[in-house]
Structure 1
């Protein structure tokens, strides 16, 4: 019986070590993603495209000034806050803050789900600015 307990404990410890329990993924920021040249690619239309992209994925998107939109995604007890900055040629998606996503500022890691949300938002923005 004692051997089974030790074996179970060792297996659990190995799992924790190998999966990096408590360790997050590096925070994904999207830097200088290109916006295709288009006559309609002006600041107003790009802002609308960014907001539309976020809303379709459940983000709350709030304009914060020329070329800046803040996005908030709340899923149960978790929250991600990002800032999308843009001009007529490119956009950026940057981490701003989070709640219950295990963000570690010293090594800039976060729960891996965050990066999936950012990848989805990036794809949605790309799709919206392509059809301006």
Structure 2
């Protein structure tokens, strides 16, 4: 128990508020949508929590950005087709992003929750568009 307490004290404040970054799993839409409807579902899911949408550089790609309390910014890349979508971390400001020596990525746990919430919101928006 003392070892755990000592390890916690040795962490910097940024490390104490970071957790391993795992991008949300690829998610099915529950039906096959047209690309227009898939894009609309992505946009609708993003709007529900005030993410901004930008068209990506390729078809079936979007860039999302959320700004929280005017100082924490998270960018994600969303790749999608007619059946599913995938959200990947792109960049951030003031969210304790770091990569360890072994290549493990870390990010503030709130940002990871924001990505999961976005995933759920997009899935719900797409479900409403299913025939």
In which range does the TM-score fall when normalised by the shorter chain?
Answer: 0.7 to 0.9
User: Residue 27 of structure 1 contacts residue 109 of structure 1 at CA under 8 Å; is this kept in 2?
Assistant: yes
User: How is 1:17-96 mapped onto 2 (pairs within 5 angstroms)?
Assistant: 17=8, 21=13, 22-23=15-16, 24-38=18-32, 41-64=33-56, 65-75=58-68, 76-96=70-90
User: Residue 51 of structure 1 contacts residue 62 of structure 1 at CA under 8 Å; is this kept in 2?
Assistant: no
Larger Rg: 1
Distance 1:68 1:36 in 2: 19
Give 1:128's aligned residue: 125
TM-score by length of 2: 0.81
Give 1:114's aligned residue: 111
Distance 1:70 1:16 in 2: 38
After superposing on structure 2, the runs of 4+ consecutive aligned residues of structure 1 that deviate more than 2 Å are none
Distance 2:20 2:34 in 1: 32
What is the root-mean-square deviation of aligned Cα atoms in Å? Answer: 2.3
Distance 1:37 1:100 in 2: 37
User: Residue 43 of structure 1 contacts residue 66 of structure 1 at CA under 8 Å; is this kept in 2?
Assistant: no
Give 1:7's aligned residue: none
TM-score by length of 1: 0.80
User: Residue 51 of structure 1 contacts residue 69 of structure 1 at CA under 8 Å; is this kept in 2?
Assistant: no
List runs of 5+ in structure 2 lacking aligned partners. none
